[in-house]
């Protein structure tokens, strides 16, 4: 497994691999890998084929963190991440420095302006600008045929798809399903922040998604409005005082616009706080 720290060296290597007609699959991550990331790596390997190239990036990107967010505290374990990548047959990892990715003075950003205007975009105003900027840079450096992202960050995945289309990146975007712990909590690097009590109550987000699905299956002919279904599911929060809901939305999965009435395929988005830890989850109804 090759490890690159220089953007130029990575780009030269990837260009050579493309000239040799090697399929390239990219998995961008911020490291502190868990089973959800491993599932994306395996999806990338399947897409690239046994002789293709799988590249994993391990980089905590500063531009997607707002003021007062957890950039400095974000969990990191590079040694473990490299071992996981090696065991999964990853061909190359990219672990750049901040100076190499954002050489001073730095003033160029990529900004998606439609799908990012709501939900996470309101709560974290500069977040998606940082995401689209770093993903664009990684696309240009690695020249992948395929890039793999997780559905847990559903809005982010839709924004990346939009950006890829709008900027004519010749890249196929693949999405991997949200992986969950045995009790339903969506796997996330930030789960490491949770206290034992917070961890026990954090499963309420998935319980809310399950309840919404159950209500819709119980009476599929009943006309459910977003507000009514939201009221029903929010009752679960009464038993979880350590979880503070930030927002809940029922959205069209393509436009991310709030749906007034619920129909099959509507995506339920949830964001909440457990202390200072921000949790997100989503599910298709």
Q: Which residues are catalytic?
A: 37
CB 276 within 8 A of CB 146: no
CB 23 within 8 A of CB 125: no
Q: How far apart are CA 207 and CA 180, in angstroms?
A: 12
Query: Residue 209 in 3-state DSSP?
Result: helix
CA-closest candidate to residue 160, choices 179, 145, 181, 174: 174
Q: How far apart are CA 10 and CA 262, in angstroms?
A: 46
Q: How far apart are CA 42 and CA 46, in angstroms?
A: 6
């Amino acid at each position: 497994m090759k490890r690159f720290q220089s953007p130029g060296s990575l780009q030269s290597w990837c260009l050579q691999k493309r000239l040799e007609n090697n399929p390239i699959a990219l998995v961008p991550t911020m490291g502190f890998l868990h089973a959800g990331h491993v599932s994306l790596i395996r999806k990338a390997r399947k897409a690239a084929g046994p002789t293709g190239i799988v590249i994993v990036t391990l980089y905590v990107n500063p531009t997607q963190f707002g003021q007062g967010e957890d950039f400095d505290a974000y969990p990191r374990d590079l040694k473990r991440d490299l071992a996981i990548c090696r065991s999964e047959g990853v061909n190359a990892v990219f672990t750049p420095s901040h100076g190499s990715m954002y050489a001073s003075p730095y003033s160029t950003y990529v900004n998606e302006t439609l799908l990012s205007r709501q939900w996470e975009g309101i709560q974290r105003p500069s977040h998606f600008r940082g995401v689209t900027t770093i993903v664009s840079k990684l696309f240009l450096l690695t020249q992948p045929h395929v890039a793999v992202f997780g559905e847990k960050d559903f809005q982010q995945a839709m924004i990346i798809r939009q950006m890829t289309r709008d900027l004519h990146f010749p890249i196929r975007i693949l999405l991997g399903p949200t992986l969950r712990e045995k009790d339903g909590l969506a796997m996330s690097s930030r789960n490491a922040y949770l206290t034992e009590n917070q961890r026990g109550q954090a499963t309420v987000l998935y319980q809310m998604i399950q309840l919404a699905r159950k209500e819709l299956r119980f009476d599929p002919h009943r006309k459910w409005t977003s507000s009514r279904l939201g009221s029903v599911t929010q009752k679960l929060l009464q038993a979880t005082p350590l979880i503070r809901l930030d927002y809940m939305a029922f959205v069209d999965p393509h436009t991310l616009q709030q749906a007034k009435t619920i129909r099959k395929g509507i995506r339920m988005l949830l964001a909440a706080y457990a202390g200072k830890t921000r949790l997100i989850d989503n599910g298709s109804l």
